[in-house]
Structures are given as structure tokens and as C-alpha cells.
Amino acid sequence: MSTEPDLSTPESTPRKSFPLLLVLVPLVLLVLTVGGALVLARFGNPLTLMPLVTVTDPQLAQLSPNVLKSRAAKARTTLERVRPQGLYIVVDTYRNRLRLVEDGKVVREALCSTGTGIVLIDPRNKRKWVFDTPLGERIIERKQKNPVWMKPDWAFIEEGEEPPPPGSPDRVDPYSLGDYGLYMGDGYIIHGTLFKSLLGRRVTHGCIRLGDEDLEYLYHHVPIGTRVYLY
């Protein structure tokens, strides 16, 4: 036999339900009223948390238009003076873009690859290499057609191999740098790549890789001594 009460009988209904309803009804109305006001404020009329206040510098407000034009002209002159002149290269390591600029105008833009930032440690002596593209200013120190890469120790350690003696033929790699190399000093080169599908990514050991056409264009249009700005 079931011991559950028969909910259809009057005896099963609590006798004190009316006071509870008297509490719940105002509460529901309050929630609906406040909620409706918030929704209206958010989606109906703009909800202004802080009024927009325009602040004017009294000294600037008193300047005449001619004085303001004069100051603007001086500012432009200053910017022109500090901006690089002639031909230069800009490397954006964040977006992996290289731009060739002449007198402030971009004449060539290329997808490139830059350093990974990975740290490699030699397990034998704890020597450390950081594969970052250097930031700052450099110059094209020399150019080379069909450059040959003399593989450093880290190129072998990275592959889990023992580095050969200095000058060993095993260090000679005539293929990895592509058809042209523009040398910026300290082993950093703008060169080609065998892995063109990886252009636009941070995959290098610090050098800057370009596609074949962009690299050839730079080689023929960038003279030795051209400044390179990396950021």
C-alpha cells in the first residue's frame, strides 16, 4: 500500500499557503520591475555610466589658428628630420613582414619568416643559443649570390648529432640559404628557404627567410650599406 499522501484531497494542501503567496508575489513583481528597467536601459535607451566631458586646455584654446598651423609645420619638419631617408628595409617580426621603403614610400612588401625564440642548450657543456631575430638597427654589410652555409655547432646539436671538427666538409651546406644572401653581421642573413610553405611564421634560428622572387628583388635593388630596421 502506498504511504504517499493523496494530493487531490483538501487535507493534503498546506493551510498556511496564503501568507507565502503574499511574500512571493511582491518579490516576483520587484524582480520583473527591476529586470525590465535594466533591460530597457541596456537595450532600449543608452545606459550612461559616466557622462562624456570634453576637457580643453585653456592655453591651446587661446592660440590663434596661425600659431597652431606654425606648430604643426614645425612638428612635420621634426618628423621628416628623424625619419630615415633614401632606401631602407623594415622588418616586422610580429607580423612576419618585410618592407622595402624609399623616401617613406613602400616599394616592396614581402612575407617572411623570423626567429622562433627557442632556447637550445648543448648537453655536453650547457652552452646556450637563443634563436631570436635581433631587434634594432643593422646594415647590409655584404651580398652573396649562391651563398654557402657553414653549419655551426647548434645545427648538429639540434639534430642530436656530434658536431664535426671546424672546417669539416660536413659543415658545408650549399642549398639551405637559397640563391641569394644579404648579410647583416653576427651571422644574421636575409636569405631564401627550402620551406616556402612556412613563410609568415616564426620558424627560423634568427635569420630572415624570403621567397625566391622577393629575395631576388632585394638582392638586385638593395645596395651594400642599406639600413635595416627590425622591430
Residues 61-70 have pLDDT tens digits of 566 778 767 8
% residues pLDDT > 90 (the chain): 62
pLDDT(213) > 50: yes
Q: Which residue has the cell 652555409?
A: 149
Q: Is 225 exposed, middle or buried (0-12, 13-18, 19+ CB in 10 A)?
A: exposed
Active site residues: 191, 207
Over 50: is that where the pLDDT of 176 sits? yes
pLDDT score at 84? 81
Q: What is the CATH number of domain 82-230?
A: 2.40.440.10
Question: pTM for the whole thing?
Answer: 0.66
Confidence of residue 220 (pLDDT cuts 50, 70, 90): very high
Domain spans of the chain, in order of start = 18-48, 82-230
Q: What is the mean pLDDT of residues 26-40?
A: 42
| Total Cβ atoms within 10 A of residue 48 | 8
Q: What is the per-residue burial (b if ≥16 Cβ within 10 Å, else e) of 9-40?
A: eeeeeeeeeeeeeeeeeeeeeeeeeeeeeeee
